[in-house]
């Protein structure tokens, strides 16, 4: 997950740099055709760089949806209920208990918390990437309009 997070961070930084540079150039009114074409190329290239990560994040986001969270929690609850939920050292973490009590314990288990943290990361990444792609499209369209005029 950290490798993907690092790649996404780099792409987001590139986007922010391009956006700020374009905004500064635009606000100064020094938009020549060549500089507009250069910015357009940068944004199109950035959009192309995002494509494989968007696909990966979309897939991961789907794998960490509500149904998956419920399934993970239920599997943990069953393991607790049957007295089979153990830590990495093989030690029993919870005593055998009712399924209702086991569901409460499952919500607080480390495995479930790890799943939820990953889920939050992929959901946030998906939303951010989708928004960045929309913003990039807006910049590309703005630059097209400026070139035409």
Q: How many domains does the chain divide into?
A: 1
User: Residues, the chain, total?
Assistant: 149
Q: From first to last of the 149 residues of the chain, give the pLDDT tens digit.
A: 678 778 888 888 999 999 999 999 888 887 788 989 999 999 999 999 899 989 999 999 999 999 999 999 999 999 999 989 988 888 888 888 899 999 999 999 999 999 999 999 999 989 989 999 999 999 999 999 988 87
36: Cβ contacts below 8 Å, ≥ 6 apart: 143, 146, 147
**Closest alpha carbon to 147 in 32, 28, 24, 27:** 32
pTM: 0.77
Q: Which domain holds residue 104?
A: 2-148
């Amino acid at each position: 997950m950290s490798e993907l997070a690092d790649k996404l961070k780099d792409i987001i930084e590139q986007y922010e740099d391009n956006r700020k540079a374009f905004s500064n150039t635009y606000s100064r009114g020094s938009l020549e055709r060549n500089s507009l074409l250069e910015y357009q190329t940068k944004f199109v290239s950035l959009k192309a760089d995002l494509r494989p990560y968007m696909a990966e994040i979309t897939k991961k986001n789907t794998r960490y949806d509500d149904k998956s969270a419920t399934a993970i929690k239920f599997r943990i609850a069953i393991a607790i209920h049957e007295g089979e939920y153990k830590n990495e050292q093989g030690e029993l973490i919870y005593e055998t208990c009712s399924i209702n009590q086991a569901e409460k314990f499952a919500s607080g288990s480390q495995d479930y918390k790890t799943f939820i943290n990953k889920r939050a990361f992929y959901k946030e990444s998906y939303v951010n990437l989708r928004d960045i792609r929309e913003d990039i499209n807006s910049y590309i369209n703005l630059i097209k309009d400026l070139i035409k005029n």
